[in-house]
Amino acid sequence: MGWFWALALRANSLAGPVVMLIYPLYASIMAIESPYKEDDQLWLTYWVLYSFVTLLELVAAPIFRWIPLWSTIKLLVASWLVLPEFRGGIIIYEHFVKPYSSGTVQNGDAKLTDSQNANAKLTDSQRKILASISPDTRSSVAQYIDENGSDAFDKLMAAAVAESRKNRESS
């Protein structure tokens, strides 16, 4: 059984930095380049939570050493926050931060940019779809929505789903 714990510790020492730092760094850079607010919100929330846990670990390191499998628990929570399928950062933001914030940022008389206007037109299902696709595809979708409208995007997605189902049934 000793080999199992040695393997688990080695896996954590490799997976931890990849899951908690390298991938979030890459995704954050991609989020900066995208025109959508949701991915920015996801990664900002992640980095705030990551910073909070890191500071907490620095202060309470002797306590955390006594918690069995602390590094594994931390890795699992970080994975939940990082992976776009789970949208953990958005869930944390929506349930724990947003209710206590004013929800508005005062910009004086500043007008919304085109990407903010396009972002405001998106439905929740469209935001979920956009969160799961590559940044290049997102920019193409944004351009399509800007040119054709949100309803045209919904019709296109419905047609794609119907075509996919039809292809699966014929196979």
Per-residue pLDDT reduced to its tens digit, 19-70? 788 888 888 888 888 877 777 877 888 888 888 888 988 898 888 888 888 8
What radius of gyration, in Å, describes the C-alpha atoms of the chain? 20
Q: Which two tokens stand for residue 166?
A: 């039809």
State how far the alpha carbon of 21 is from the alpha carbons of 9, 14, 60, 164, 169, in Å.
18, 11, 21, 36, 42
Question: What domain count does the chain have?
Answer: 2
Q: Whole domain around residue 48: which residue ranges?
A: 1-103
Are 93 and 120 in a shared domain? no
- Residue 142 to residue 16: CA distance in whole angstroms: 34
106, pLDDT greater than 70: no
99, pLDDT greater than 50: yes
Are 89 and 155 in a shared domain? no
Q: Which two tokens stand for residue 119?
A: 């972002």
Main-chain dihedrals φ then ψ at residue 24, nearest 5 degrees: -60, -35
Are 129 and 78 in a shared domain? no
The number of angstroms, rounded, from the C-alpha of 57 to the middle of its chain's C-alpha atoms is 23
Are 46 and 9 in a shared domain? yes
